[in-house]
Structure 1
Amino acid sequence: MYEPIRTKSVHSTMAGTTSDFPHRSREEELDIQLAGHLAALLTVTDELRALAPSADLDTAADRLAEQVTRLRGGRAPARAPLTSVTGRPNLASMHRRAHALAGRALVVAASRADTAAAILSAERMDAHAAALEPRELAAH
């Protein structure tokens, strides 16, 4: 999906001297990006769990937290308590947002060949699409 990097980074050296800031590999950058997408998906999943509790969402949240922890080198993601959701959010818009986040995570997981994260992202996309189908059809 992504073009391989063919040239040396212009940020690695300047005028032949080594720089004093740390550098990350492409894989490390993708890990950071994937962890961010999955953490955002976890946040929306926790919000949905607070509004419409289900065993599927509980399992998904646990699996998402495991993947984020793995990608962050053992650091667990911050989680909001289930009672922290305020107001009356639109469940359909939350499912659409979760679907989009899962899609972004799937693209990054595929580019770094992370099978576990890719499968989880695809499953979440399917679950959120299925949650939207009855509402989307009823609106037309």
Structure 2
Amino acid sequence: MYEPIRTKSVHTMAGTADFPHRSREEELDIQLAGHLAALLAVTDELRELEPSAELDVAAERLTQQVTRLRGGHPPVRAAGGAAGREPLSAGVHQRAHALAGRALVVAASRADTAAAILAAERMDAHAGAAGVTGAAALAGR
């Protein structure tokens, strides 16, 4: 009355060799590269609003880290996005500060010293530019 099942179930984990898995380190690399790429995009936006040699150096260092984490694939960069609009640079610095903080957390959990140092430096730079201090950040919450 019943016909036997002839194929393996797609719901079992018996054949894990054909199921794609990534290690924790690979997942953290992907996450860190994403945070740093987002920080690079905001840095490029700031470079258009407030051109400076410091932001140019930061963008180059971010590009190097993202390229390293992505196995040699450089990040895609936008060209000329801020022209025609007038965002408040303090708000852009606050976004950059938050992104650098996220990158710092992931870099620390991954034990990536180079990325953690870069993220911490960018946090400091954007905190100063946005007028965010430790006491001001806590009072704003």
| 1:25 matches 2:26 | no
Distance 2:78 2:15 in 1: 45
| 1:127 matches 2:128 | no
1:58 paired residue among 56, 59, 82? 56
2:8 matched residue in structure 1: none
CA drift at 1:133: 1.9
Distance 1:84 1:28, change over 3 A: same
Distance 1:124 1:111 in 2: 18
Unaligned runs of 5+ in 2: 1-10, 137-141
1:80 matched residue in structure 2: 78
CA drift at 1:128: 0.2
CA drift at 1:15: 4.8
Identity %: 71
Distance 1:97 1:60 in 2: 16
Paired letter, 2:123:
M
Q: Output the TM-score relative to the length of structure 2.
A: 0.81
1:90 matched residue in structure 2: 88
Q: Output the TM-score relative to the length of structure 1.
A: 0.82
Paired letter, 1:84:
G
1:105 paired residue among 100, 103, 106? 103
Q: Which has the larger radius of gyration?
A: 2
Unaligned runs of 5+ in 1: 1-12
Distance 1:28 1:75 in 2: 15
**Could you list the per-position Cα deviations for residues 42-83 of structure 1 after superposition, in whole angstroms to 9, with x for gaps in the alignment?**
0000000011100000000000000000000000000112x2
Aligned length: 122
Distance 1:124 1:28 in 2: 24
Distance 1:22 1:67 in 2: 26
| 1:37 matches 2:32 | no
